[in-house]
Amino acid sequence: MSFGPHLFLALLEGTVTAFVLALMALGLSLVFGVMRIVNVAHGEFYMLGAVLAWACADAVGTPVAGFVVAMLVAPLAVGGLALAADRWILRRIDYHPESTIVATIGMLYMLQQAVLMLYGPDARPVAPPVYFVVQFPWFGYSGYKLVVAAASGLLVLATWMLVTRTRLGLYMRAAQQDLEMAQAYGVPARRVYALVFLLGAMLAAAAGVLIVPIEQAHYLMGLDPLLLSFIVVIIGGLGSLRGTLVAAFAVGLSDGIVSVFFSPTLAKIVATLLVAAVLVVRPGGLFGEERA
Amino acid sequence: MTEHPKNLSRRRTLISLGSLAGATLAGSVLNSPLALAQGKSPIRIGFQVHRTGIGATYGRWFERTTAAAVKMLNDKGGIGGRPIEVVAEDDGTDPKRGPEVVEKLARQHKVDFAYGTLFSHVVIASAPRAGELKIPYFVVSEGYHVASGKMNRYCFQPGITDVRSQVTAMASWIFGKLGKKVTMIFPDYAFGYDHRDYFSQAAEKHGAKVLEKLAIPPAERSFTKYFARVPADTEVLYHVMVGPGVLTFVKEMGEHFGKKRPQIFGFIDSLEGVDMASPGLEYLDGTYFWEAFPRYLQGKEPGYVKDYRQRVGVNDAGASLADPKDVSTFSHMFGCWETLHVIKQAVEKSGYKDPTPGDYRKLIEALEAMKEFPAGIAHPQGAKRFDGRVHQCYGQQNISKVEGGKLKVVHTTKIEDGMYPAEADYTKQPL
């Protein structure tokens, strides 16, 4: 393949990766920004979304109906689980930063093993709700991947609006900036925390539902996206939504280009080096705010 | 928010400790009913199984096949009159965990033999430990590592052929029928390198050319970027993939090449455990696959093949009798069945009794003296030849064409087609 089409393919791949990554990392970033917790189980919420999408598709029958049902059921179910985790685990350890890392690692293993026991070790496919191949002169490309990019973009936009334009968003930002002051002004901190954790989990689950027709549901599928999301969140600056989006595109596109032209392993190396470089130059990340 | 010092309550600690102890006890009791039932001390076979990790689909079917084989053998009187007891231990398809599992089986469970490992990187990590512990280690792995002489005298692969033999057997058909300019796509570890090295070697011999070799990391989940590197003048795309990403691989291959595809020859490893009717696989119609043991019943099989299918619980389409969506790893799991039968034969022939150095010596020498395994219920995939110098068996291979979402055998190789000169001699190593 000559250089032009090759680059075009790289950009396409990179853009799709970037949008999905943005959706995944946004939840992680929100949870960290507001609650100051590193949620290691975030990838498992994504995996649960994918597995539930398979279950819905299996139960409903037609791909379109299955997808619609999954888009409703999976985020709600995973959100419910997240609420329970918030109520019975995180609140009990007072959202203590170190303890929550250990607790969410525990959740990661419990969710993974539960899925392995109940759903099994297979990677199971789900038919995409819309399927078409965009035929370029040099190669064909899955139309559904473009749909995924668009849907992720919409969800990211909706989350952005929620954070910047609504009362809940205001509470969230207030809790992020200064928790005690926010509480003094009557921000219901516990409820905000619960809702943020719920929102983060729902975003991850939605990403899982979107991705499963491309990738298949598998009980270990949460690990890689988790790692990439962490990379994105660290580069962007922990807690900064704008940073997360910028970093998702930087990482997604560089991943696409480097892996198409050189090798996917090199792309991961580049992403990791990027993290190291950002941490050396700007320890708070590109858009990270200074913390008192 | 305030910080509360949290005390671990004593009652809660006791409850969790109690349940842990209970679980352990239940596990050990459940493990050994057979021995008590039959009144003779059992032959204990340690089963290193990929219950979790990327090999879990294979692991589950390896476990089912093992259970079926053990049931049949025990019903017929066990091994030398002793019942077989399987002690399974999960290695997570993890090369770090592999040697620990071998050690645990040998030292803690005190098994007679260790058996069952599939993924080549786990085998290569585990076999040296088996050699150090001096316990016979039977792998069902396909890799060339056993026959290459890189393992040790305790490591055997008597139940499944190796990659070098497979590609050597099929090369002339591939180059003759499909084309001579090949691009290879394979996993980026030992198993993939065997394909790369020995298929390239075969290509040279047949005057064909491998244009590009694309190694894919084992946990990769997106493949479009690799297809961009397939040269335009490729006549045959040779693919062998394993792990949870295989279906994506095939789908993206279809999307990328569309109707202008080259000939495609794959190893069924790319679709083991996957329903051929899965969405996106229509694309494979008219492409070819290697199969060790045809997944779909072809209709002309001898009775023992049908008997084998019945016993391992597989229907005519190679899926579970209990759940037609649960597709087996049919071209690999027979290796467990056949290996257990070889163990039986070796134990009975050598008069092996206990895990002592002397008995192990007798067993290993008896194994190394074996030459032929005739086709039958003990070797349902077909007759095998065994080369004691390299501890490896040789058998027939099948090439199947995808037609209407099923695999139809179009060519079966002879055992001789897959023979190559032995590059090692384990029998010269000390015991």
Q: Return the CATH number of A3-281, one of 3.30.70, 1.10.10, 2.60.40, 1.10.3470.
A: 1.10.3470
What is the pLDDT, as a whole number, of residue A52? Answer: 96
Write down the domain spans for chain A: 3-281
- Domains contained in chain B, CATH given: 34-161+333-395 (3.40.50.2300), 163-300+396-418 (3.40.50.2300)
Cβ separation of B57 and A121 shorter than 8 Å?
Answer: yes
Dihedral, CA of residue B44, residue B45, residue B48 and residue B52, to nearest 10 = -70
Reference B153, options B173, B130, B183; nearest CA is B130
Helix, strand, coil percentages in chain A from 3-state DSSP, rounded to 5: 75, 5, 20
Exposure b/e, B379-391, CB count within 10 A at least 16 = b: bbbbebbbbbebb
Contacting residues for B198 by C-beta, under 8 A, at least 6 apart: B144, B163, B164, B167, B168
Contacting residues for B293 by C-beta, under 8 A, at least 6 apart: B330, B331, B334, B380, B381, B398
Cβ separation of B222 and A214 shorter than 8 Å?
Answer: yes
Is ipTM over 0.90? no
pLDDT in tens, A217-268: 999 899 989 998 999 999 998 778 889 999 999 999 998 888 888 877 888 8
Distance from CA of B147 to the nearest CA of A (A): 30
pLDDT in tens, A34-77: 888 899 999 999 999 999 999 999 898 788 999 999 999 999 99
What is the pLDDT, as a whole number, of residue B259? Answer: 83
Q: A214 to chain B: which residues are within 8 Å by CB?
A: 222, 248
Reference A106, options A124, A122, A90; nearest CA is A90
Residue A116 near chain B (CB below 8 Å): yes
Q: Picking from A110-114, B64-68, B255-259, B262-266, which range would have the lowest pLDDT averaged per residue?
A: B255-259
What is the pLDDT, as a whole number, of residue B89? Answer: 96
What is the pLDDT, as a whole number, of residue B264? Answer: 94
- Size of the A and B interface in Cβ pairs below 8 Å: 102
φ/ψ of residue B398, rounded to 5:
-120, 145
Q: A256 to chain B: which residues are within 8 Å by CB?
A: 225
pTM: 0.79
pLDDT in tens, B23-63: 444 444 444 444 444 468 999 999 999 998 888 889 999 99
Percent of chain A topping pLDDT 70: 98
Distance from CA of B94 to the nearest CA of A (A): 14
Interface test with B, best of A100, A136, A145, A218 (most B CBs within 10 A): A218
What is the Cβ-side half-sphere exposure of residue B292, based on CA atoms within 13 angstroms? 27
Whether the predicted pLDDT of B151 surpasses 80: yes
Q: B2 to chain A: which residues are within 8 Å by CB?
A: 94
DSSP secondary structure letter of residue A91: G
